[in-house]
């Protein structure tokens, strides 16, 4: 396959970077990242590799059986490297002063709870209201592995940017948005359009294969296929991996990725959530700007591409939503991944902008008041001088003789 140039334009020189994110943290003890080269080896080798593949599935979805003291020690160490975004919010906002904040949000596990049935990952009305307020203040995008149309039906906010299928299907706002002048229904970018027939074939084959595995669900996310094994007995994981591999080996132009209790088959192109973030920043006119402050909030392994992109840019930061320590390139964390905490964090951004606007208005009003006061004093001084001049004139006027 001819290598596609999926990035609209590449930055040829590095801009002056603001030191707003922490250094890359060391790996948290007890958690082993799964390098992409390992997954590739698992795809290309035979049945003897299935057990290793299952091991990688366990590693990406670990069971927590550690002692309380061990977990506490590990958690404390992790928090030092990835402090709470709520606790550090004031410092975060200090770093964003004078810059345009741009918000990027994952969907599953961030805006909606993780559920057994992916078709029932509904967004609450309170969360929708919060995201709507956020979008009225900052350019806001949802970047998800889901099919773009499906996540739009969950969210139902036309003023947002949507990047579905891990950024392989991007659409701008179709409703009123002060950040998008070209309102319409047009798709901004689809770098993997040629793979659609292939993805559809794989989806139908996997649906048939998974019928023999209780609890397995296959989801067509347009530019990728997701095989959910959250409800599959761990004893069946080996069979599931074998069935997925039997299909994948017939499609060398597709590759495997792993998330939390999910295997994802997607096109072998250099495109991910990090590339989608970069493309959206460029679409908004911030490709080579020093005064932009991107914020990405996500909870899964696929969000790491976006976290790493922000770290490489030296701008903004990533927030990992996770109750447990994980290897991550995010600068901050949200350790209570419940709806109330996420709503509160997003609301803080809205309140921060409101406070910033009020301060600007107050300064403007104070300036007008001071300017008016100075003008008033100048007028009074002029009138006083005029009165004094008239009095002097009257004294100097010669008196008429009778």
Which pLDDT belongs to residue 400? 56
Which pLDDT belongs to residue 1? 39
Structure tokens at 299: 């909870």
The structure tokens 């070209």 sit at: 182
Distance (Å) of CA 386 to CA 324, 377, 379, 381, 389: 78, 14, 10, 9, 5
d(CA 311, CA 314): 5
The structure tokens 């739009």 sit at: 152
Partners of residue 264 on adjacent β-strands: 226, 257
Q: Identify whether 116 is a catalytic site residue.
A: no
Distance (Å) of CA 245 to CA 61, 70, 116, 240, 390: 19, 36, 23, 9, 103
Which pLDDT belongs to residue 17? 38
Q: What are phi and psi of 89, to 5 degrees?
A: -60, -40
Distance (Å) of CA 13 to CA 82, 317, 364: 30, 21, 38
Helices 237-248 and 36-44: crossing angle in degrees, nearest 10, is 80
Distance (Å) of CA 387 to CA 378, 380, 383, 391: 14, 10, 6, 6
Which pLDDT belongs to residue 205? 98
What is the C-alpha R_g of the chain?
29
Which pLDDT belongs to residue 178? 64
Q: Which CATH class is domain 82-191+271-356?
A: alpha beta
d(CA 131, CA 349): 11
For the chain, the structural domain boundaries read 82-191+271-356
Which pLDDT belongs to residue 291? 92
Which pLDDT belongs to residue 45? 52
Strands 217-220, 225-228: parallel, antiparallel or unpaired by DSSP?
antiparallel
With a CB cutoff of 8 Å and minimum separation 6, the contacts of 372 are none
Partners of residue 100 on adjacent β-strands: 292
Catalytic: which of 106, 108, 303, 305?
Answer: 106
pTM surpassing 0.85? no
Alpha carbon of residue 193 to chain centroid: 24
Alpha carbons within 13 angstroms on the beta-carbon side of residue 376 total 6
Nearest C-alpha neighbor of 258 from the set 237, 283, 284, 239:
237
Which segments in the chain show pLDDT lower than 70? 1-49, 53, 59-70, 176-186, 337, 350, 352-371, 373, 386, 388, 390-402
């Amino acid at each position: 396959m001819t290598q596609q140039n999926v990035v609209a334009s590449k930055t040829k020189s590095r801009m002056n970077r603001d030191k707003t994110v922490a250094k890359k943290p060391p790996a948290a003890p007890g958690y082993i990242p799964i390098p992409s080269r390992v997954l590739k080896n698992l795809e290309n080798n035979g049945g003897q590799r299935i057990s290793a593949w299952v091991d990688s599935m366990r590693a990406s979805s670990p069971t927590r059986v550690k002692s309380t003291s061990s977990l506490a020690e590990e958690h404390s160490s992790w928090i030092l490297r990835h402090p709470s975004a709520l606790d550090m919010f004031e410092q975060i906002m200090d770093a964003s002063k004078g810059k345009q904040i741009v918000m990027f949000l994952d969907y599953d596990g961030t805006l909606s709870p993780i559920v057994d049935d992916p078709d029932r990952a509904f967004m609450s009305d309170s969360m929708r209201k919060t995201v709507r307020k956020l979008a009225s203040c900052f350019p806001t995008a949802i970047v998800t592995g889901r099919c773009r149309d499906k996540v739009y039906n969950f969210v139902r906010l036309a003023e947002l940017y949507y990047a579905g299928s891990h950024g392989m299907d991007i659409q701008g706002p179709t409703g009123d948005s002060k950040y998008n002048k070209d309102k319409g229904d047009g798709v901004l970018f689809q770098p993997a359009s040629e793979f659609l027939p292939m993805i559809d074939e794989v989806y139908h084959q996997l649906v048939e294969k998974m019928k023999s595995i209780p609890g397995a669900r296959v989801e067509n996310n347009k530019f990728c296929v997701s095989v959910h094994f959250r409800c599959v007995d761990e004893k069946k994981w080996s069979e599931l991996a074998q069935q997925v591999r039997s299909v994948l080996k017939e499609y060398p132009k597709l590759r495997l990725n792993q998330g939390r209790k999910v295997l994802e088959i997607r096109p072998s192109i250099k495109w991910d959530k990090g590339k989608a973030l970069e493309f959206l920043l460029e679409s908004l006119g911030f490709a080579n700007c020093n005064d932009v402050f991107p914020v990405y909030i996500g909870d899964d392994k696929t969000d790491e591409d976006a976290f790493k992109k922000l770290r490489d840019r030296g701008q903004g930061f990533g927030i990992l939503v996770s109750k447990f320590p994980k290897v991550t390139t995010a600068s901050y964390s949200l350790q209570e991944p419940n709806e109330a905490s996420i709503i509160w964090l997003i609301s803080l951004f809205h309140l921060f902008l409101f406070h910033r606007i009020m301060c600007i208005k107050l300064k403007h009003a104070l300036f007008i008041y001071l300017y008016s006061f100075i003008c008033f004093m100048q007028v009074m001084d002029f009138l006083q001088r005029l009165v004094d001049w008239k009095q002097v004139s009257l004294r100097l006027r010669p008196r008429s003789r009778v």
